[in-house]
């Protein structure tokens, strides 16, 4: 008994501060938020009682369809952002994997944007994606105009239905380098013998990548998907600095902020919990999978 305790106790004791802090500030507050989201608390007054799930169902029955619009925006943003970073990251990693000259330089250049905060890049991209056209053009539209590429001028993020695709551009610009780094690590992790064997067997470059290298990148793709995917769903700072809080570009996280400002605590909590569940649906299976793989090895 004492022996077991002696083996256990020091470790547990050292862990306990972070366990306590985690317990209170992560799981405790998640519990608090879930509890709040079930209450009838829509102003600065204390709650009048429990409202059950009506805070959640009300999100979907608003006459303007605001929450559905938010989710649509989030979906467009996520698809373009995740897809864009994956494609660009893979392309760059592929090019650098071909032993390009000055690889180190390119790697650094592509990685640099990641060091910029979303707020800072958002302010610059806000100007680049100025929606004025023709004589009022600014930013990229003005450059297109000067290059006689007027047909490329577009309203960017102010386009009503697909504007969020433009909003994803700064995010792609910032995160592609990171995804590239992941893929380079992925390529380098593949044993050289496999490449050699394929070349000896007379595989073309395309066949080498298609049948030998890409299949081995699946774990990398999965990590990249998870990392960009959960970032995308929590995106707040970039949107706030490019467009500010407004209808066209509103996503759930901005909606939470707007609702909190008007003291509608229960509704804000309901949106936050909804978002948490969506993120969890993506991440938890991945964590389970990773755990299983690690145990196996």
Partner 1 sequence: MRLSKRAAVGLVGVAALLAAATGCGSDSNSSSGGGSGSKNVEVFTWWADGGEKAGLDGLVGAFSSACANEKFVNGAVAGGAGSNAKQVLAARLQQNNPPDTFQAHAGAELSDYINSGKIEDLSQEYKDWGLTDSFPKGLIDSLTVNGKIYSVPANIHRANVLWGNKTVLASAGITKDATSMDAFFADLDKLKAKGVTPLALGKDWTQQMLFEAVLIAKLGPDKFKGLWTGSTDWAGSDITAAITDYKKLLTYTNKDRDTFDWTDAEKLVIDGKAGYQLMGDWEAADLDAKGFKEYSYSPFPGNAGVYQWLADSFVLPKGAQNVDGTKCWLKTVGSAEGQKAFNTKKGSIPARTDASPTDYPAYQQAAMADWKSNTQVPSCPHGSACSQGWQGAVASAQGKFSTDGDIGALQNALVSAAKQFAKP
Q: Which residues bind partner 1 (CB under 8 A)?
A: 6, 9-10, 13-14, 16-17, 42-45, 62-64, 66, 69, 130-133, 136, 155, 158, 160, 243-244, 246-248, 250, 258-259, 261-264
For 243, list phi and psi in degrees, rounded to 5.
-115, -15
Q: Which is nearer to partner 1, 43 or 291 (CB)?
A: 43
Of the candidates 241, 3, 5, 292, the one whose C-alpha atom is nearest the C-alpha of residue 121 is 241
Q: Which is nearer to partner 1, 250 or 275 (CB)?
A: 250
Q: Which is nearer to partner 1, 160 or 202 (CB)?
A: 160
| Distance of closest approach, residue 254 Cβ to partner 1, in angstroms | 11
Strand-pairing partners, residue 39, are: 50
| Distance of closest approach, residue 235 Cβ to partner 1, in angstroms | 19
Q: Which is nearer to partner 1, 130 or 232 (CB)?
A: 130
Instruction: Quickly tell me which residue has 């299983």 as its tokens.
Output: 292
For 57, list phi and psi in degrees, rounded to 5.
-65, -35
Whole-angstrom distance, CA of residue 82 vs CA of residue 157: 17
Residues 6 or more apart whose CB falls under 8 angstroms from that of 227 comprise: 178, 182
- Map residue 257 onto helix, strand or coil: helix
| Distance of closest approach, residue 256 Cβ to partner 1, in angstroms | 12
| Distance of closest approach, residue 135 Cβ to partner 1, in angstroms | 8
| Distance of closest approach, residue 189 Cβ to partner 1, in angstroms | 36
Q: Which is nearer to partner 1, 64 or 297 (CB)?
A: 64
* Helices and strands in the chain: count of H runs, count of E runs: 14, 0
């Amino acid at each position: 008994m004492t022996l077991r305790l002696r083996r256990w106790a020091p470790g547990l004791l050292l862990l306990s501060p972070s366990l306590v802090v985690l317990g209170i500030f992560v799981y405790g507050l998640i519990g608090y938020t879930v509890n709040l989201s079930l209450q009838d608390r829509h102003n600065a007054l204390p709650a009048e009682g429990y409202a059950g799930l009506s805070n959640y169902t009300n999100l979907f029955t608003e006459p303007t369809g605001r929450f559905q619009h938010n989710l649509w925006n989030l979906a467009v943003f996520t698809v373009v952002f995740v897809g864009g970073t994956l494609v660009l990251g893979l392309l760059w990693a592929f090019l650098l994997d071909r032993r390009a000259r000055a690889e180190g330089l390119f790697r650094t250049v592509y990685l640099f944007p990641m060091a910029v905060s979303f707020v800072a890049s958002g302010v610059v991209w806000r100007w680049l994606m100025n929606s004025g056209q023709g004589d009022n053009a600014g930013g990229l539209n003005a450059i297109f105009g000067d290059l006689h590429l007027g047909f490329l001028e577009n309203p960017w993020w102010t386009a009503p239905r697909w504007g969020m695709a433009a909003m994803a551009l700064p995010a792609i610009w910032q995160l592609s380098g990171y995804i590239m780094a992941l893929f380079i690590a992925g390529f380098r992790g593949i044993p050289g013998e496999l490449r050699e064997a394929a070349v000896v067997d007379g595989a073309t470059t395309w066949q080498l990548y298609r049948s030998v290298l890409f299949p081995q990148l699946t774990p990398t793709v999965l990590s990249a998907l998870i990392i960009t995917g959960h970032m995308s769903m929590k995106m707040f700072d970039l949107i706030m600095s490019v467009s500010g809080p407004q209808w066209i570009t509103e996503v759930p996280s901005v909606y939470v902020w707007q609702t909190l400002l008007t003291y509608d605590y229960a509704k804000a909590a309901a949106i936050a919990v909804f978002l948490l569940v969506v993120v969890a649906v993506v991440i938890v299976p991945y964590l389970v999978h990773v755990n299983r793989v690690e145990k196996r090895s």
